[in-house]
Amino acid sequence: MSKVRFTFNILAIAIFTLTVVSVAQAQATRTWVSGVGDDVNPCSRTAPCKTYAGAISKTAKDGEISTLDPGGFGAVTITKSITINGGGAGQGYGSILASLVNGVIINITDVNDIRKSVKLDWLNINGASTGLDGVKFIAGNVLHVSNTLIDGFTSDGIEVTAATPNVVIENTKIRNCVGTGIRTNSATGAGIKATVANSVITRNGVGVDFQNGTLGSVYDSTVANNTSHGLQVGEPTAGSNMNVVNVNVSNNGGTGVNVLNTSRARIARCNIFQNNVSLAPANLVDSGGNNSIAGNTTNTAPNGPSPFPQN
């Protein structure tokens, strides 16, 4: 009987040890993916995983998934704070092919996840003209998208419906999306704070659309060749503000800067060229008095209450 008990004790210890090792592997602070990896691996540098979805289950909250070499790493749903680094800058380029699906879904609701923050860096998110949204941000506090290419989606390049997040999009190209390049629309009408910098938004339906209480800025960017409006700010239920500084708004099929209802746009040092209409309505666009507006089918000048001061 004592031998049986001893055997059971040894088995119990072995199972416990294996469980601890498995959990430790599943919660690594940094994991790795490779085009020649395998999702049964622990996602270490020497034994990388194959997909971002495979790696995310083995990455600790607030950790990072790094990309060893170029490859197709699949669509992914993110439910915890994490960084996905596609490994540009000479290491490789993290490709997500999202045919018929969303490229990246972010839905962080865990009350124990204090940061609720996601960073996407050096990714190539390709909808192949059939994908839904490139990045769909449903819930969370912070989203950073940097050095990323989003191309070919049937809805939006980046869609933000989370309640009150901070969103920063920089050094990013978004193109060929049937809906909108970047659209923010909080379901609660609370204030999304959004910044778009050093980016190129082209050949979408609408370039950038800040809606429903968004307080947003677009600067040092190009918004061009979109089928409908270049920049739009509006609401169904809560007014929004869009600050536009040093932006080239050109060759858009509708209005360069389009403002709806009680929202406002403020423009400074912008070039608004060769759109159907430069901006509308004029009384909802405030100007720094230092913009260039020419070559539009209808050249409308901003006519807010007064030019905001140059300091």
Kindly tell me the burial class for residue 29, based on how many C-beta atoms sit within 10 Å of its own C-beta (0-12, 13-18, 19 or more). exposed
The 3-state secondary structure of 218-285, one letter per residue: EEEEEEECCCCCCEEEECCCCCCEEEEEEEEEECCCCEEEEECCCCEEEEECCEEECCCEEEECHHHE
Rounded distance, CA 160 to CA 66, Å? 25
Under the banding of pLDDT at 50, 70 and 90, the label for residue 17 is: very low
Measured over the CA atoms of residue 46, residue 62, residue 209 and residue 273, the dihedral's sign is negative
Q: Which long-range contacts (CB under 8 A, 24 or more apart) does 276-285 make?
A: 276/252, 279/255, 280/255, 284/259, 285/257, 285/259
Phi, psi (rounded to 5 degrees) for 53: -65, -40
48-87 per-position pLDDT tens digit = 999 999 999 999 999 999 999 999 999 999 999 999 999 8
CATH topology of domain 60-294: Pectate Lyase C-like (2.160.20)
Under the banding of pLDDT at 50, 70 and 90, the label for residue 144 is: very high
Q: What does the pLDDT read at residue 19?
A: 45
Kindly tell me the burial class for residue 83, based on how many C-beta atoms sit within 10 Å of its own C-beta (0-12, 13-18, 19 or more). middle
258-285 per-position pLDDT tens digit = 999 889 999 999 999 999 999 999 999 9
Cα–Cα distances (Å) from 199 to 6, 37, 80, 150, 223, in that order, read: 66, 32, 27, 11, 8
Which candidate, 77, 80, 76, 116, places its Cα nearest to that of 95? Answer: 76
Rounded distance, CA 98 to CA 120, Å? 16
Q: Which position has the token pair 């990045």?
A: 135
How many other β-carbons are positioned within 10 Å of the β-carbon of residue 247? 30
The two three-digit tokens of residue 305, written as one number: 């209450």
Cβ atoms of 248 and 224 closer than 8 Å: yes
Maximum mean pLDDT: which of 24-33, 69-78, 302-311: 69-78
CA within 13 Å, CB half, 17: 6
Domain-wise residue ranges, the chain: 60-294
